[in-house]
Chains A and B, each alone.
Chain A
């Protein structure tokens, strides 16, 4: 596996994997992340990932890129105990909006019925790759290809908290009111992020998410 290393700032070094979004890369980055978090040689201010990158933010000046490379190469070959890499599955109850404007747009452009959109959206186990964009905003992998749809050309000024949406090859949940360019297909009342709680969110990278259709159930 050819990793590359990039010194981004005075105190930040990026470890970069090949640009492939899959479960294998995800678990590999999580493993390296844990080993970097556990090491005691250098103090980290923060450590966070994107699809194919891990960012090491050092307290003070970063060690040399060569040092980071050597340590990471060691970590890559290290066996991590299975129980340390156990991931949970989180169910997200969704009330799908079968008659909404955005749902109609997806149906029209993908030649699907609203019920088919729901069936497809609830059919897979999504990988949580990372959290970014907004506090608690999950970057999920595995959206069925038949639901991939270009983002809105003009983003909506305000998408409501709890909106479940599709944009490009991605699906996600807006954890708070925000502008956004994705198409809304439903709503959840599951709280994803609460800064008053410790920890502020329970869903972590590497976990699985499934969407469960509760449109028929009584309004909560």
Chain B
């Protein structure tokens, strides 16, 4: 187990999210920067849906009650065991009684802590991801004991994983046009410029723009993580992992899966620029 010494201001358990419940109005949820959470699990030889801790823009300290292999991924931060620096994006062994300290990130916002075996958290609707609407507890608290699945056999950790951290510094957010784009009368160029990010949380990022419109006749329609809605007063709502299943504003853009990960590492005040790609672009890139 791990005993939480410093929980940070908003630290949650996250996995792949609640798959298959959108027709019940249950948000998907899951790690905001899913790629980084998946990386932590890959490094430790865990299954892709093993539960990680998602730390939001703050310090996180914990004490081990026995030996555990962990990996820290995502936003760039300082990681130490009993004050001794250890690398990110590598499996590191924390001995019994040692203290793992993760600093507030200096680039990016969300840090992932994975442990070999994965955290042992009760699942509801197929997932242990924290969400206010589904679970009574919404964040990890100080002094909490975090249970860990025991790994029955020796698992090969991967030390040679090459990690590209350029996604933390890029300001480009890859998008495709959304279903209502053509009805709003804007040009692609209206979005290919710099935008200042406003408030944000796990449900969405808000961006004020001068892109006002008077499109009417929108019915509540399908939304998904990455859907960008535009209110008539010009506010962009970029839906993130905890997005609701349907929304009533025109869907002007749609982020690629990769762009959701990139945006989830941005904070209020950061500047982003939308880059239009083909809808099948990220798939081609992955092949």
Contacts and interface: CB of A to CB of B under 8 A. Distances in A.
Interface string B107-151: 000000000000000001100000001110000000000000000
A6 interface: yes
Contact of B25 (A12, A53, A133): A133
A200 B19 contact: no
A196 B123 CA distance: 10
Contacts of A176: 133
- How many B residues touch the partner, as a band? 20 to 34
B134 A45 contact: no
B257 A48 contact: no
A133 B27 CA distance: 9
Contacts, number: 108
Given A48-B222, A131-B24, A131-B245, 18 more contacts: A7-B279, A7-B280, A10-B279, A10-B280, A16-B179, A48-B22, A48-B245, A49-B222, A50-B219, A50-B222, A51-B221, A52-B221, A55-B224, A57-B224, A132-B220, A135-B25, A193-B25, A200-B24
B219 A52 contact: yes
Nearest to B125: A195
Contacts of B133: 134-135, 176
B246 A132 contact: yes
Interface of B: 19-27, 124-125, 133-135, 178-179, 217, 219-222, 224, 226-227, 244-246, 254, 256-257, 279-280, 282-283
Given A14-B179, A134-B244, A9 B20 contact: no
A195 B124 contact: yes
B24 A9 contact: no
A16 to B, nearest CB: 8
Interface in A19-52: 19, 21, 45-52
A186 interface: no
A137 B282 CA distance: 34
A12 B179 CA distance: 12
Interface centre among A139, A195, A199 (most CB of B within 10 A): A195
A136 interface: yes
A46 B223 CA distance: 13
A195 B133 CA distance: 9
21 contacts: A8-B178, A9-B224, A10-B280, A10-B282, A14-B222, A19-B217, A46-B20, A46-B22, A48-B22, A50-B220, A50-B221, A53-B222, A131-B245, A132-B25, A134-B25, A135-B24, A135-B133, A193-B24, A196-B124, A199-B24, A200-B125
B77 to A, nearest CB: 30
A16 B27 CA distance: 22
A201 B246 CA distance: 18
Contact of A205 (B23, B179, B224): B23
Contact of A9 (B26, B244, B257): B257
B134 A195 contact: yes
A92 to B, nearest CB: 17
Most buried by A among B20, B24, B178, B227: B24
A51 B135 CA distance: 28
A174 to B, nearest CB: 11
A6 B256 contact: no
